[in-house]
Structure 1
Amino acid sequence: MAPADTATPKLHASDIGSIKAFADSNGDSPIPSSYYSIVEARDDVADHLASSFPVIDFSLLTSPDPLLHADTVSQLGKACAEWGFFMLTNHGISEKLMKEVMDKSHEFHNLPVEEKKEFADKGPLASIRHGTSFYPESELFHYWRDYLKVMTLPEFNFPHKPPGFKEVAYDYSSKTRAVARTLLQGISESLGLEANAIIKSTGFDSGLQIFVVNLYPPCPQPELALGMPPHTDHGLLTLLYQNGIGGLQVNHNGRWVNVNPLPNSLIVNTADQLEAVSNGRYKSIWHRAVLNNKDTRLSIVVANGPDLEEEIAPAPELVERGEGIRYKKMKYREYFSKVQQVTRLVDTSRLDKVRINPQN
């Protein structure tokens, strides 16, 4: 638990336009008490489970050998069912492109605060949003993070600076979308569905994609603050790439597990709408970002979702097998713009809004 506040001011996220600028100017000074977001001890981290984190070889999933493909589909289904997260290797996105997108993302966050003000967050449906913390209007505490969020599909948007960022991001967004599409085909097969079943039922090919760059500066008191609180992701699949600085923790069977990605791998997680489509077979898993007091962590997150106008519901084939309907229909736009954005992220799941029985 955080200590009683004695010397640090009670600042709100609205008072701090950039946590990077704030951290740069305050050095090792104590953090504001409004950032005391640690509400449980850090000793619940199960380090022995990190080596069990699933790894999927994308090249085997796309192999023309039916036996290799089938075996990888089985591994993919197991990873989704048991972890809701997996590491993806041999995904076909070049190391050169991944380095370029990381370098340009750093350049954006290193721009002067004044130059980024034109991209200030104006709400969840704004095409380009720059801000700090998580959801300041609904959160109980503030979080040690600056972000850039851009809608790159169904129409491509992007900041015009720094030079070259837009072009690199377009290439990276396109390639990660193709990877996500192939993964969804494999996930459909793992559920016993036709390969394109989830793609068709969610309108994936005309769906939403959001490109997010999270920056977590060194925090003088990482034992008190979080970069992001425990949360699940909206959409179908999220693909994450980071700069080699650890911080992602996944909740696995009630224990937090540090994720240690292999170089140039992607971390993939199943998200809220995939849980609903799979009728609860594949859960949307809680995860969080922890901090350190030495290094800046930067993560590039590409969230891939359904068509905003599509009603998301369990796949009929799964319901027909006698499983029963476990999730109500909800238009993705409503979930994204209302439920996902305003639900306070403490002791509740946003999916409870669509679960038939929220206790399950």
Structure 2
Amino acid sequence: MAAVNPTSSYDRLKEVKEFDESKIGVKGLSDSGIVTIPRFFVHPPETLSDLKPNTSKSCANIPIINLSNKDSSTHRPEIVNQIKEAATTWGFFQVINHGVPESILEETIRAIKDFHERPHEIKAKYYKRNENSGVMYSSNNDLYRSKAASWHDALTAWMGPSPLEVEELPQICRNEVIAWDANARKVAETVMELLSEGLGLEAGKFKELTFSEARALVGHCYPYCPQPDLTMGITSHTDPGVVTVLLQNQIPGLQVKHEDDWVAVNPVPGGLIINIGDFLQIVSNGEYKSVQHRVLANSDKNPRISVVEFFNLSKWKGDGYYGPLPELLSAEKPAIYRNFTQQEFLENFYGKGLDSKSLIDKIRIQG
């Protein structure tokens, strides 16, 4: 008798669809007390083979930059240098003394956690998959595009460039989301000024290019996972935009790729994590680097909460293209990326699962 293929009866798309249509998210699965995760969450061995950071790098951490003297003519050049160095070598750094009150940080985390802990019937009203505008609650924005699902849910709000109708936001976190958007934008604009100066440009250049207008706020929840060695919180990827501002609670899990090793990012109380996106790597003509990062599945009984604000440009250039800033190019430093269109940018992001530098690879000029 021929051996039975154990995978022959497995209909992955059917299981994914049933999970999606249930609208319970991974929080619902976790709360149900399951001890085995559904098969479509299990990642291949090549993804799972290096989940533990290199022990020789265990003491490393991303740079921490103090912004308290950013307006001092004496101290600002050193802060610019620190941020330039971090954006060039790590692509990630934490900022402290950034001006956001600790109460705002705590209230934002609490409000996002409260939303994710609402009963299924309440959250289900926001569950949808129409990306790029309004408010969307979902599990895995790339659920149907990825090869394996990851163990997280997210509440996403597109805050700009078109103003969001605040009534669309869940009432339990409405005020906190609006306040966080305003504060995250201030921090991003401060960091963008310092990054711009690091390239030898005017401080306001990135704001002039509308780098802080198109904003998406994502409140992630990584609930307890009963089999954290079989799945991911979020798979390895680079962010597609300009910069990202990240607020997280004290549950670990975030890792950054640095010099071919995964380094755990230890949260600093009161700190905010900033990372460089693919778009900024391109417009800086490779001076600043977007870096792979991932989140491990959460083995802690308490949920890991992170609030991420993504920043991108909103006004495309008059000729419909974008690429390295002309001011940064010269005979000695020619463009290493070609120009690209907004349609290319959007299709590259929404046409597949999360990945690393795929747009950068597509538009790189071969020497």
Q: Equivalent residue of 1:323, what SS?
A: coil
Compute the displacement of 1:108 (Å): 1.1
Find out whether 1:303 has 2:310 as its counterpart: yes
Whether 1:15 and 2:18 are equivalent positions in the alignment is: yes
Contact (CA 8 Å) 1:279, 1:315: kept in 2 or not?
A: yes
Query: Structure 2 vs 1, CA of residues 259 and 52 (structure 1 numbering), >3 Å: closer, same or farther?
Result: closer
Q: How many residues align?
A: 349
Q: 1:58 aligns with which of 62, 67, 83?
A: 67
Q: Percent identity?
A: 29
CA distance in 2, matches of 1:318, 1:191: 8
The structural deviation recorded for 1:278 is: 0.5
Q: Give, in angstroms, the shift of residue 332 of structure 1.
A: 4.0
1:275-290 aligned at under 5 Å gives the runs 275-290=281-296
Distance 1:72 1:195 in 2: 13
Asked if the contact 1:309–1:333 (Cα under 8 Å) also holds between the matched residues in 2, the reply is no
Instruction: Give the equivalent residue in structure 2 for 1:343.
Output: 352
Worse-superposed segment, 184-193 or 307-316: 307-316
**1:329 aligned to 2:339?**
yes
TM-score (norm 1): 0.89
Q: How far does the alpha carbon of each residue in 1:172-227 deviate from its partner, in whole angstroms, 9 at most, with x for none? A: 11111111111111111111222222332x3225x210110111111111011001
Residues 273, 312 of structure 1: 8 Å contact kept: no
Displacement after TM superposition at 1:334 (Å): 4.4
Q: Are 2:327 and 1:317 equivalent residues in the alignment?
A: yes
How has the CA–CA distance of structure 1 residues 9 and 355 changed in structure 2, closer, same or farther, with 3 Å as cutoff? Answer: same
Distance 1:232 1:166 in 2: 29
* Structure 2 equivalent of residue 352 of structure 1: 361
Gaps of 5+ in 1: none
Task: Structure 2: state its 5+ residue gaps.
Answer: 1-5
- Displacement after TM superposition at 1:46 (Å): 2.7
1:118: which partner in 2?
125
Tell me how far 1:345 sits from its aligned partner. Answer: 4.0
1:148 corresponds to 2:155: yes
- Contact 1:228/1:288 (8 A) holds in 2: yes
Distance across 1 between alignment mates of 2:316 and 2:125: 29
Q: Which has the larger radius of gyration?
A: 2
The 3-state SS of whatever aligns with 1:276 is helix
Matches within 5 A, 1:82-93: 82-93=89-100
- The verdict on how the C-alpha distance between 1:333 and 1:172 changes in structure 2, with shifts beyond 3 A counting, is farther
Computed over aligned residues only, the root mean square deviation of the Cα atoms, in angstroms, reads 2.5
CA distance in 2, matches of 1:23, 1:43: 21
Distance 2:330 2:182 in 1: 35
Please report the TM-score for the alignment, with normalisation by the length of structure 2: 0.87
**1:138 maps onto 2:145 in alignment:** yes
Which residue number corresponds to residue 271 of structure 1? 277
Distance in 1 (alpha carbons) for counterparts of 2:179 and 2:313: 20
Corresponding residue SS for 2:75: helix
1:253 aligned onto 2:259: yes
Name the aligned partner's letter for residue 50 of structure 2: R
Per-residue displacement from partner, 1:96-139 (whole Å, max 9, x unpaired)?
Answer: 11111111111111122222233223332232111102402210
Alignment partners' CA distance in 2, 1:42 and 1:203: 38
Deviation at 1:140, TM superposition (A): 0.5
Instruction: Please tell me the residue identity of whatever aligns with 1:23.
Output: S
**Residue in structure 1 matched with residue 206 of structure 2 by the alignment:** 198
Alpha carbons 1:9, 1:33 under 8 Å: kept: no
> Which string of whole-angstrom CA distances, capped at 9 and with x for unpartnered residues, describes residues 39-88 of structure 1?
2423651344343420111223x232x23100110010000000000011
Aligned to 1:174: 182
CA displacement 1:299-332 (0-9 Å, x = unmatched): 0001111115344311112112531112222344
Greater shift after overlay, 145-154 or 302-311?
302-311
Does the residue aligned with 1:227 lie in a helix, a strand or coil?
strand
